[in-house]
Amino acid sequence: MWFAIRLVCLSLFFICSVSTFALAENEELSEVDIQVLEAAIDDYRFSDFKAAIDKLLPLHQAYPANKAITETLGRSYEESAQTENALALYQEWLATIGNDHADETRFAWMGMANSLIKLQKQNSAISSLKQWVTYHPDDSVASTMYGSLLFQSHDYRASAQVWDGVLNQPQASASDKSAAHYFKALLAYMEGDMDAQQFHASECLKAEAEGAYAVSAKQLMTARPARKLGLNASLALEEYFTSNVELLPDFKAPSPGKKKSDTSTTTTLSLTYNFQRDLTLGYIFSGDFHAKRNDLDLAYHSLFGLWVNGEWFISPKYEYAQLGRVYLFQGGGADVGWTSEELRLSYGWRYKVFNKNYLATDLRMLGGYSNRLDVSNTWKIEGTGVETAARLNISDESTKGNATYAKSDSYRQVGAGAGVRWNYDRYQLGGDADYYFRKYREPLPGAFGPARDDSHPQISGNITWAPDLPLPTTFTLKAGWQKNKSNDTTKSYSEWRTGLSVNLMW
């Protein structure tokens, strides 16, 4: 699907034939120079670009404003991979003629944009094409090139406006209309409008059944949008066995003599309503329910919003939690971040207020705030179905402590991890390894020795199967191990668990 997008910008510039060159200014040249120019044009046509450049450079120095000389020299530079020379030539020529936007200057504006794309100066290319398209909105080839760049830079609204303009141009070619419908289908897919997605994918194929976008358009005819407009719901149920259910050392004291192994059920319900313009409102419930240790049942509720603007997002949240069916804490905050196809950066801030009457050790009874920075990057190995990821997180939590100890549970934490996924047909095999180090700021009052510090490795693996069912459904078999090693032995623990989960979406 994405291969066609990468091709379009570099190919559109050469759609127009170069078999004719405007020689309207030849009256300025001597008879000898005209013959040299015509010989250079022949060299270009027969792909002898070095010979063409050698002939044209002296002519360009003598006639810097001549269109035919500049056009032939610029194209020769481009074809011989002298992109920087081509860019400098086009910019110099346009400056010489006062950055005119007349029809006969099209080659320079398009050549400049094409050179900027090759030099990976996408924003400058967008600016160049915007100037040209503003004066020539009926130039469907330039508009297609412009819309493709806007899409790649994640300016989706501006891109959609360009495609609407292309489709409203009576003189637009079948290739241009095919591109416009394809990108409209892709935008609809991203927004979750499946009706528009299928309509534009169908129109893309009608415009060019075997065109550059045909294969991708056929995929879009049946692809399920990742984000569907309107009400969406998902339900996940996981049944798992754990060797140690007491994994809440900061919320609950260990219970000597009680069984630590348990069979548990995790239930996660997600309800979201997706609006147009990248706005989502939602509710999430997640509950951990244990067969033996009901005092450790943990229920979590969250209300959230999500607004996406191109590569940026912001998500305010409200959270409420219960432990053993008793109110534990409530709070709120927000996540803000930036994403690209491979890289994701996010910062989260939370403030929590804990139950002042909850009888448990180290409980942050008076609340506090936390900051967390996450960085992750993914890489896909083309043609293998393998995707790898690396991540880094930094956390800082400050609390007011409880009624007895002030700030003894404030800490800083640094973590890192890596993961790998292999996709084959309807199966996915995955594995993850993570490690964090946590340093507490102050020892408990009256305690001997340094403040508490923890190290925490964790590994996990899973196999997921996604059968072809009316509702999107996945089954996942999981296994994992984790260990917390602390200089405070009461805070050290380890656990391994295995489980089976099913996830349904509708």
* Residue pLDDT, tens place only, 432-476: 999 999 998 877 666 667 888 899 999 999 999 999 888 889 999
Helices (H), 355-495: none
Structure confidence at residue 87 (pLDDT): 87
Structure confidence at residue 444 (pLDDT): 65
Separation between Cα atoms, residue 123 and residue 127, nearest integer Å: 6
In this structure, is residue 178 part of a structural domain?
no
Share of the chain above pLDDT 70, in %: 87
Structure confidence at residue 402 (pLDDT): 52
Q: For tokens 């293998």, what's the residue?
A: 384
Structure confidence at residue 195 (pLDDT): 85
- Which is higher by pLDDT, 420 or 112? 420
Average pLDDT over residues 54-79: 86
Separation between Cα atoms, residue 183 and residue 200, nearest integer Å: 8
In this structure, is residue 42 part of a structural domain?
yes
Q: Which amino acid is at 226?
A: A
Structure confidence at residue 463 (pLDDT): 97
Which of 39-43, 308-312, 336-340, 357-361 is least confident?
357-361
- Mean residue pLDDT of the chain comes to 83
Q: Are 155 and 234 contained in the same domain?
A: no
Share of the chain above pLDDT 90, in %: 27
Which of the listed residues 102, 137, 172 is the one where a domain comes to its end?
172
Q: Are 130 and 267 contained in the same domain?
A: no
In this structure, is residue 368 part of a structural domain?
yes
Q: For tokens 């971040």, what's the residue?
A: 337
Residue 102, token pair as written in the block: 């007349």
In this structure, is residue 186 part of a structural domain?
no
Separation between Cα atoms, residue 108 and residue 17, nearest integer Å: 15
Residue 372, token pair as written in the block: 């967390």
**What does residue 277 show for φ and ψ, rounded to 5 degrees?**
65, 30
Angle at 256 between CA 252 and CA 262, to 5 degrees: 75
Average pLDDT over residues 276-302: 89
Q: Are 339 and 234 contained in the same domain?
A: yes
Which of the listed residues 172, 193, 213 is the one where a domain comes to its end?
172
Structure confidence at residue 387 (pLDDT): 92
In this structure, are residues 432 and 460 in contact, taking their beta carbons and an 8 Å threshold? yes
Residues 6 or more apart whose CB falls under 8 angstroms from that of 466 comprise 426, 427, 428, 472, 473, 474
The number of helices, as runs of H, and strands, as runs of E, in the chain is: 12, 14
- Cα–Cα distances in angstroms (integers) from residue 440 to residues 104, 179, 396, 443, 453, in the given order: 70, 57, 10, 8, 6
Assess whether pLDDT exceeds 50 at residue 18: no
- CATH code assigned at 378: 2.40.160.40
Structure confidence at residue 199 (pLDDT): 92
pLDDT band at 388 (very low <50, low <70, confident <90, very high): very high
Separation between Cα atoms, residue 330 and residue 2, nearest integer Å: 43
In this structure, are residues 134 and 167 in contact, taking their beta carbons and an 8 Å threshold? no
Domain count, the chain: 2
- CATH code assigned at 84: 1.25.40.10
Q: Are 267 and 119 contained in the same domain?
A: no
- 339-348 b/e (C-beta count within 10 Å ≥ 16 → b): beeeebebeb
In this structure, is residue 177 part of a structural domain?
no
- For 84, the domain range is 2-172
Assess whether pLDDT exceeds 70 at residue 400: no
Structure confidence at residue 478 (pLDDT): 95
Which of 187-191, 318-322, 447-451 is least confident?
447-451
Average pLDDT over residues 302-314: 91
- 175-196 b/e (C-beta count within 10 Å ≥ 16 → b): bbbbbbbbbbbbbbbbbbbbeb
In this structure, is residue 214 part of a structural domain?
no
Assess whether pLDDT exceeds 60 at residue 364: no
- Which is higher by pLDDT, 35 or 258? 35
Q: Are 246 and 345 contained in the same domain?
A: yes
Structure confidence at residue 114 (pLDDT): 87
Average pLDDT over residues 473-487: 93
pLDDT band at 385 (very low <50, low <70, confident <90, very high): confident
Structure confidence at residue 17 (pLDDT): 34
Structure confidence at residue 464 (pLDDT): 95
Average pLDDT over residues 94-110: 82
In this structure, is residue 206 part of a structural domain?
no
Q: Are 368 and 495 contained in the same domain?
A: yes
Q: Are 338 and 458 contained in the same domain?
A: yes
Separation between Cα atoms, residue 503 and residue 267, nearest integer Å: 10
Q: Are 154 and 257 contained in the same domain?
A: no
Q: Are 390 and 294 contained in the same domain?
A: yes
Q: For tokens 């995707």, what's the residue?
A: 387
- Which is higher by pLDDT, 43 or 357? 43
Q: Are 165 and 250 contained in the same domain?
A: no
Residue 318, token pair as written in the block: 């409200």
- Cα–Cα distances in angstroms (integers) from residue 403 to residues 322, 328, 356, 362, 446, in the given order: 21, 16, 9, 10, 15
Q: Are 351 and 259 contained in the same domain?
A: yes
pLDDT band at 257 (very low <50, low <70, confident <90, very high): low
Q: Say what the pTM is.
A: 0.64
In this structure, is residue 157 part of a structural domain?
yes
In this structure, are residues 182 and 213 in contact, taking their beta carbons and an 8 Å threshold? yes
pLDDT digits (tens, 9 = 90+) for 136-146: 888 888 888 89
Assess whether pLDDT exceeds 90 at residue 405: no
Separation between Cα atoms, residue 43 and residue 498, nearest integer Å: 71
Residue by residue, DSSP assigns 265-302 as: EEEEEEEEEEETTTEEEEEEEEEEEESS-GGG-EEEEE
Separation between Cα atoms, residue 419 and residue 237, nearest integer Å: 23
**Helix 174-191 vs helix 140-152: crossing angle, to nearest 10:** 20
SS3 391: strand
Q: Are 389 and 272 contained in the same domain?
A: yes
